[in-house]
Amino acid sequence: MSKIATLEIGGKKYEFPIIEGTEKELGIDIKTLRGATDSVITIDPGYKNTGACESAITYLDGEKGILRYRGYSIEELAEKADFLEVAYLLIFGDLPKLEELAKFHADIKEQSVVDDDVKKILDAFPKTAHPMGVLSCLTSALTAFNPSTVDVESEEEMYKSTVKILGKFPVLVAWTMRKQKGLPLNYGDTSLGYVENIMKMMYEKPNEQYEQNNILLNALDKLLILHADHEQNCSTSTVRMVGSSHAGLYASLSAGISALWGPLHGGANQAVLEMLEAIKEDGGDTEKFMAKAKDKSDSFRLMGFGHRVYKNFDPRAKIIKVAADEVLADLGIEDPVLDIAKGLSEEALRDAYFVDRKLYPNVDFYSGIIYRAMGIPVEMFTVMFALGRLPGWIAQWKEMRMRKEPIGRPRQIYIGENNRPFIDIEKR
Catalytic residues: 307, 364
Query: Closer to ligand SDX at the Cβ: 175 or 365?
Result: 365
Q: C-beta of 400: minimal distance to ligand SDX in Å?
A: 17
Q: Give the 3-state DSSP-derived string for the chain, with helices as H, strands as E and coil as C.
A: CCCEEEEEECCEEEEEEEEECCCCCEEECCCCHHHHCCCCCCCCHHHCCCCCCCCCCEEEECCCCEEEECCEEHHHHHHHCCHHHHHHHHHHCCCCCHHHHHHHHHHHHHCCCCCCCHHHHHHCCCCCCCHHHHHHHHHHHHHHHCHHHCCCCCHHHHHHHHHHHHHHHHHHHHHHHHHHHCCCCCCCCCCCCHHHHHHHHHHCCCCCCCCCCHHHHHHHHHHHHHCCCCCCCHHHHHHHHHHCCCCCHHHHHHHHHHHHHCCCCCCHHHHHHHHHHHHHHCCCCHHHHHHHHHCCCCCCCCCCECCCCCCCCCHHHHHHHHHHHHHHHHHCCCCHHHHHHHHHHHHHCCCHHHHHCCCCECHHHHHHHHHHHCCCCHHHHHHHHHHHHHHHHHHHHHHHHHCCCCCCCCCCCCCCCCCCCCCCHHHC
**Footprint (CB under 6 A) of ligand SDX, residues 40-69:** 46
With b for 16 or more beta-carbon neighbours within 10 A and e for fewer, the 179-213 pattern comes to bbeebebbebebebbbbbbbbbbbbbeeeeeeeeb
Q: C-beta of 133: minimal distance to ligand SDX in Å?
A: 18
The residue count for binding ligand SDX (CB under 6 A) is 22
Choice from 302, 324, 341, 383 touching ligand SDX (CB under 6 A): 302
Per-residue contact flags (x/-) with ligand SDX for residues 350 to 389, judged by CB under 6 A: -------x-x--xxx-------------------------
Q: C-beta of 389: minimal distance to ligand SDX in Å?
A: 7
Choice from 90, 166, 303, 341 touching ligand SDX (CB under 6 A): 303
Per-residue contact flags (x/-) with ligand SDX for residues 249 to 288, judged by CB under 6 A: ---------------xxx-x--------------------
Query: Closer to ligand SDX at the Cβ: 104 or 310?
Result: 310
Query: Closer to ligand SDX at the Cβ: 112 or 237?
Result: 237
Query: Closer to ligand SDX at the Cβ: 233 or 252?
Result: 233
Query: Closer to ligand SDX at the Cβ: 141 or 320?
Result: 320
Q: C-beta of 217: minimal distance to ligand SDX in Å?
A: 23
Q: C-beta of 325: minimal distance to ligand SDX in Å?
A: 21
Query: Is residue 112 a contact partner of residue 118, using CB atoms and an 8 Å limit?
Result: no
Q: C-beta of 281: minimal distance to ligand SDX in Å?
A: 20
Q: C-beta of 183: minimal distance to ligand SDX in Å?
A: 30
Q: Which residue is nearest to ligand SDX (CB)?
A: 306
Q: C-beta of 251: minimal distance to ligand SDX in Å?
A: 20
With b for 16 or more beta-carbon neighbours within 10 A and e for fewer, the 2-20 pattern comes to eeeeebeeeeeeeebeeee
**Footprint (CB under 6 A) of ligand SDX, residues 305-324:** 305-309
Choice from 90, 91, 290, 293 touching ligand SDX (CB under 6 A): 293
Q: Which residues contact 111 (CB under 8 A, 6 or more apart)?
A: 163, 164, 166, 167, 168
Query: Closer to ligand SDX at the Cβ: 163 or 275?
Result: 275
Residues 371 and 302: their CA atoms lie apart, in Å, by 19
Query: Closer to ligand SDX at the Cβ: 188 or 306?
Result: 306
Residue 213 region, left (φ>0) first, then alpha (ψ -120 to 50), else beta?
beta
Query: Closer to ligand SDX at the Cβ: 141 or 337?
Result: 337
**Footprint (CB under 6 A) of ligand SDX, residues 196-235:** 230, 233
Query: In the complex, which residues of this chain contact ligand SDX (CB under 6 A)?
Result: 46, 230, 233, 264-266, 268, 293, 301-309, 357, 359, 362-364
